Amino acid sequence: MVRFDVTNNDNNLTRKEREEAFRRDLVLDAAECLFAEKGFDGTTVAEIAERSELAKGSLYHIFQSKEDIIAAIIRRKLEYFMSVLDELLNSSASPLDKIKGFMRTKLMGVWESRHFARIFVHELRGFHWSTETPALSEWREQVESMMNATENVIAEAQRQNQIRPDLPPSIILGGMAGFSNAMIYTWLSSGEDFNIDLALDQALSLFLNGVMPQGEGD
């Protein structure tokens, strides 16, 4: 399993480096909100600079283009998620608990980062980058690594008879991804405030146990 080192120890940074990191985060936070509100194409670099309270020229010292900004937003979110996933994979939890943890982490991560989720749903699915773009290629490679690791945990859960052994792990993984994505779309489109912990428990129960009354079905 590839480990993703996302440690950012400010003690190892100079004052100038800390200031640059602070300005970088200001830009990314501002851009994330604007992309979610207005879309990628509908947002200008000038608006990002204004929202982050930086001069446009100062912003260009940090990022050369909007594409660089959205790539950095993706990397920041993905690195955090991968660090949480890696910790879960290497924990002593049972395979079934790891599967539950994967789904809970994904759904909770989306709920806590709804601006980014809206960017993903409305922008990145049909994004106009070339497939040769390094940032997008890196993103896809890391997601593929994450999916492969999850499939291995599913297979182990089957060997321990914690989940149905008669289905290919790839089918179960696809079901997990499709189910969690459907939950995400529902949450983002509803705009309602609700009990996220209860919603997570209900989502996990529905995926793992189905909709048949307990004790019925096969």
Tell me the pLDDT of the chain (218 aa) as tens digits.
Answer: 333 334 445 567 788 888 888 999 999 999 989 988 888 888 999 999 999 999 999 999 999 988 889 888 888 887 888 888 889 988 999 999 999 998 888 888 777 777 777 776 665 555 555 445 666 677 777 778 888 989 999 999 999 999 999 999 999 999 998 888 888 778 777 766 667 788 888 888 888 888 877 665 55
Are 74 and 59 part of one and the same domain?
no
Domain that residue 116 falls in: 66-209
Q: Contact 133/66 with Cβ under 8 angstroms?
A: no
Give the separation between CA 103 and CA 53, rounded to whole angstroms: 37
Q: Is the pTM of this model over 0.85?
A: no
Give the separation between CA 115 and CA 133, rounded to whole angstroms: 23
Are 40 and 143 part of one and the same domain?
no
Are 57 and 101 part of one and the same domain?
no
Among candidate residues 40, 64, 88, the one where a domain is terminated: 64
Domain-located, residue 35? yes
Are 22 and 104 part of one and the same domain?
no
Total domains present in the chain = 2
Token pair for 60? 């260009």
